[in-house]
A and B are shown apart, each in its own frame.
Chain A
Amino acid sequence: MDIATLLVAGLANGSLYSLMALGLVLVYKTQDVINFAHGEVLATGAFLGYTLYKVVGLPYPIAFVVAILLGGLLGGLIERIAFRPIAHHPHITLAMVTVGLSFALKGALRIPYGRDIYVFPPLMGHTPIMVGATAISPQSIVTIVVALMLAGALFAFFAYTTMGKQMRATQQNITGAALVGINTGRIFSFTWALSCLIGAAAGVLAGPLSLLYPDMGTNYLLKGFAAAVLGGLESVPGAMVAGLIVGVIEMLFGGLISTAFQEVSAFFIIIIVLMFRPHGLFGQKPVHRV
């Protein structure tokens, strides 16, 4: 296998992991909880995209936008219904609810889609573009470009809009944000909506690269975790960069050593990061305050 081919495929997968990690980091920064239902959000996004594109027959860009908006709506609803009443409960309660949600979402997906496996057709055909000896599948390019556009939009959102600035303020200090008049409840809802919107986008993009089945989220969730941990768990640019690194490492491992190890690379990445650089590439050393 050509190294450049592997690199492009790795970057395509990696940009999905980046999006996953971004969604996880956003919620973690705001609510101090890891969203274990994020894999199922991805699966929901993928199935929404599939249904809108294949069953309803919308053109792809419209199907994509509608699917991610619905994903965002789902996130907002989850926060409003399940998390607002317990927003001030300790970490373990919140984490347990996300676990319950992940099972519930997966179960809900199984009712219409059963245990079958669905195929999401690639957007621009199967024939790879050849650049010299390097084979690049058009889907990889679509994935990378869309992921980069989303990330760019997100950075702009955080830098220039009032809502984005309020979100950052809430992430730094909830009480302080509430004191200066920020409606923190609304910020929580928007954070979840944004996080799930990104997750659903990753799902729609992941559709053609993998197969569609209700359990598809677990793998992406694990790789997203690995990326988030590598990026420092609290850093948005860290999550982006680390996702790409995880994708490339995984592909190089799979292509050059053994494909069997590809599945468990997430575990080794997490363990190695924890051993040698526990606060990740971009995180700050944790400070305990009594």
Chain B
Amino acid sequence: MWVRFCERWFGLLLILGLACLPFFLDKYTQFVVNLILVYVTVGIGLNFLLGYTGQFAFAHAALMGIGAYTVGLLTTRLGISFWIALPLAGVAAAAIGGIGALPALRMKRAYLALVTLAFAELIQWVLIRWKDVTLGTDGVSIRPPRFFDYALKGDYKIFWLILVVTVIMYVIARRLTESRIGRSWVAVRENEIVAQCNGINVTATKLVVFMVSAFYAGIGGGLFAATLGYIVPDGFGLLQLVLHFSIVVIGGMGSVFGGVIGSLLLTTLPELLREYPQALELIYGILLCIFIIFMPTGIAGFLKQWRVLPPEVMSRNWQALRDRPRPEKRS
């Protein structure tokens, strides 16, 4: 109870503090803060899939692209309001992702990774080739969203929109992971057969988590489009995916806090390394390997161990990432 009480009041204070940020920051820092918040949503979404359910998929960047393009095309080309386009972005990503991943969900884990890797290429290909709709490599510029008669234009004003959406997505994520659904995800991660014996429909659970994760990616993509104001298909390629993986792994797999910590660190890192963009992939890759080998629960896991962060219900002792005898292969 006490922990919950503290978290709630601390969170409220944090949000109020964040809401005052635009009065203190310069334009560029504000932009980086906006990006951090966008990646919180995206990172939490991937964490559901990777950290909570232990499923390996490569489509997150592409699904984010679907979200961004849904918002971009609906608002700019059809003139639909941003407030309708943003939820639609999530729904579109969830629907397309669900259809794409469906054939792989009944198979062994390796197949989901294979299918989504090819699926991500397919989406990118569609974004580039379907010029009549997506404008191809020219990209789409996004009209700033309007709040009644007030245009949310520029980094300062768009910030409040992003903050509100991010807080909503964060609260939903916390609720979801502590609910029956979140527990079923963890059960599937720990042992599919045991989960099945406990009455969990494994395939349905995997489909749900994939679609929820895609929904978060879609919403994140929509916000991303609003932040940048201009999107191109190339922005949702492998480099974007490296960033997502790094956010989840370095922040902490199987922890909602992990998404927040990861995006805070990894969105600022490329801004600090602006001088050496070619080193970025190398650094991300090495960081990923080091963290997964030596600190599989990431920074959030470390902080939880030292009681800096409150424990999260289903991820207190994540055994799945520690040493465990390998299941016998069939002979």
Q: Which residue numbers of A lie inside 8 Å of B, CB to CB?
A: 28, 32-34, 36, 82, 85-86, 88-93, 95-97, 99-108, 110-111, 114-115, 172-176, 215, 218, 221-222, 225-226, 229, 233, 260, 263-264, 266-267, 270-271, 274-275, 278, 286-290
Contact = CB atoms under 8 A, between A and B. Distances in A.
Contact of A288 (B111, B193, B245): B193
Contacts of B293: 82, 85-86, 97
Contact of B289 (A90, A104, A114, A233): A104
B162 to A, nearest CB: 28
Interface in B308-331: 320-331
Interface in B161-194: 193
Contacts of B283: 107
B223 to A, nearest CB: 25
A85 B323 CA distance: 10
Given A173-B331, A288-B193, A82 B125 contact: no
B324 A34 contact: no
Nearest to B326: A88
Contacts of A90: 54, 320-321, 324
Contact of A103 (B285, B292, B328): B285
Contact-residue bracket for chain B: 35 or more
24 contacts: A36-B113, A86-B292, A88-B323, A91-B110, A92-B56, A97-B289, A100-B286, A100-B287, A103-B285, A104-B286, A104-B288, A107-B283, A108-B282, A114-B278, A115-B278, A172-B331, A173-B328, A264-B118, A264-B122, A266-B118, A274-B103, A274-B104, A278-B107, A289-B327
A226 B111 CA distance: 11
Interface in B115-156: 115, 117-119, 121-122, 125, 129
B292 A100 contact: yes
Contacts of B326: 32, 88, 174
Contacts of B320: 90, 92
B188 to A, nearest CB: 12
A66 B324 CA distance: 39
Nearest to A30: B329
Contacts of A114: 278
A270 B115 contact: yes
Contacts of A86: 292-293
Given A100-B288, A106-B281, A289 B121 contact: no
A97 B121 contact: no
A28 B110 contact: yes
A111 B282 contact: yes
A270 B114 contact: yes
Given A174-B329, A266-B121, A278-B107, A103 B321 contact: no
B280 interface: yes
Given A28-B110, A92-B56, A274-B111, A99 B330 contact: no
A286 B330 CA distance: 9
B19 interface: no
Interface string B268-285: 000000000011111111
Nearest to A94: B292
A186 to B, nearest CB: 18
A267 to B, nearest CB: 4
Given A95-B56, A101-B289, A264 B329 contact: no
Nearest to B276: A111
Interface in B69-126: 103-104, 106-111, 113-115, 117-119, 121-122, 125
A-B CB proximity, top 10 nearest: A107-B282, A104-B285, A100-B288, A103-B285, A107-B281, A267-B118, A100-B289, A274-B103, A267-B122, A173-B331
B118 A226 contact: yes
Contacts of B108: 286
A106 to B, nearest CB: 5
A239 B118 CA distance: 18
Contact of B285 (A88, A101, A263, A288): A101
Contacts of B322: 89
A254 to B, nearest CB: 14
B329 A111 contact: no
- Tell me which of B118, B245, B286 has the highest count of chain A C-beta atoms within 10 A of its own C-beta: B118
B242 interface: yes
Nearest to B119: A267
A225 B281 CA distance: 23
Given A107-B281, A264-B118, A264-B121, 11 more contacts: A88-B323, A88-B325, A89-B323, A104-B286, A115-B278, A173-B329, A225-B118, A229-B111, A270-B114, A274-B115, A289-B328
Contacts of B110: 28, 33-34, 91, 95, 233
B125 A264 contact: yes
B33 interface: no
Contacts of B109: 91-92
B301 interface: no
A93 B15 CA distance: 34
A281 to B, nearest CB: 16
A34 B279 CA distance: 26
Nearest to B115: A270
Contacts of B35: none
